Amino acid sequence: MKKGYLILEDGTKLEGISVGADKISEGEVVFNTGMVGYPESFTDPSYEGQILTLTYPLIGNYGVPDDSKDKFKINKHFESDKIHIKGLIVSELCEKPSHWNSARTLSDWLKENKIPALADIDTRALTQKLREHGVMLGKIVFKDEKNTNNSQRGNFYDPNIENLVANVSIKKPIVYNRGKKRIALIDCGMKNNILRSLLNRDITVTRVPWNYDIFKNKIKFDGVIISNGPGDPAILYDTHEVVKKCFAAKIPTFGICLGNQIMAIAAGAKTYKLKYGHRAQNQPCINTENNKCVITSQNHGFAVNAKSLPKDWKPLFVNANDKTVEGIKHQKLPFFAVQFHPEATPGPNDTNYLFDEFVEML
């Protein structure tokens, strides 16, 4: 087995074995605490620019499914048409999966997509380091670099300085005809199951790029959804301006994940980078309106500053673990957003009802 190394910006070097493509890669090293759901997670555009550490000790035991489509011609098993992670770090990778839906091994899938991966890494120790220090920049290499003491940030690729949304958004509008009600979906790195959740409710969806002005281009819609996506929400100025127009016109507007942060900024609030983010399918959130707890699927590194919310907005959900804002809502107008993924995939379906609540606003 070929050796590989994960080098962190603080000079830490972890040795493992290559189980993916033998390709040097750099990015932000983050961790996910989910037990399953790796095909959906790896293809989630929100992971663009990140080297993903999976804390569950055995990964790949149910293989990777095929590329089959559903009745809407959307991929059944993946959340986009490619793997978005920059690299994968695991403790143990299963090379002989057993599952009725398995079409290939995880290792083969990673190699096909030219994604490097290292196994035999102490992911527990790595996760503890990231929790204490916060997420760090890192790189996967396949040569034993002796000089790893230079931990200057400038020597590592930082995906957060780029407009990652521009890399993962579509380039021109796509219309999915379904029903009489119409939604403009601003694609900032949309997961497939968001689209599927709307089409299953007989909604016609016009999916547009992140910087597309739906007002100037006279798109027909009854409501607007801002999707999930990667990176820093504060740099998406074009999207902020479109959402401000939605607010001014009092159009029903729903944000998901990055969309939650974009709506908060458009309303006048501030966002900030979390120490190590929320990435898992087991994040408990409290609904502030009924005090009920829901288990949610999450993948984000930024959050909304609750104290910066204008007086006509309120937190709709808060994280039960760290009390961060997990959703916002306008006190009177039809605007609300959530930081988690109500469409799940992977994860629980506790909050799928939020799509129904939004459709009722149209």
Task: Please give the positions annotated as active site.
Answer: 257, 341, 343
Residues near 126 by beta carbon (within 8 Å), at least 6 away in sequence: 6, 14, 29, 31, 53, 89
Are 282 and 34 in contact, with CB atoms under 8 Å apart? yes
CB 230 within 8 A of CB 259: no
Residue 84 CA: distances (Å) to CA of 29, 79, 174, 253: 14, 10, 21, 27
Give dist(CA 129, CA 138) in Å, integer.
Answer: 13
Q: How far apart are CA 153 and CA 207, in angstroms?
A: 37
Asked if 56 and 34 count as a contact pair (C-beta separation under 8 A), the reply is yes
List Cα–Cα distances, 86 to 53, 81, 293, in angstroms. Answer: 11, 15, 33
Parallel, antiparallel or unpaired: strands 13-18 and 3-8: antiparallel
Distance between CA atoms of residues 45 and 100, nearest Å: 27
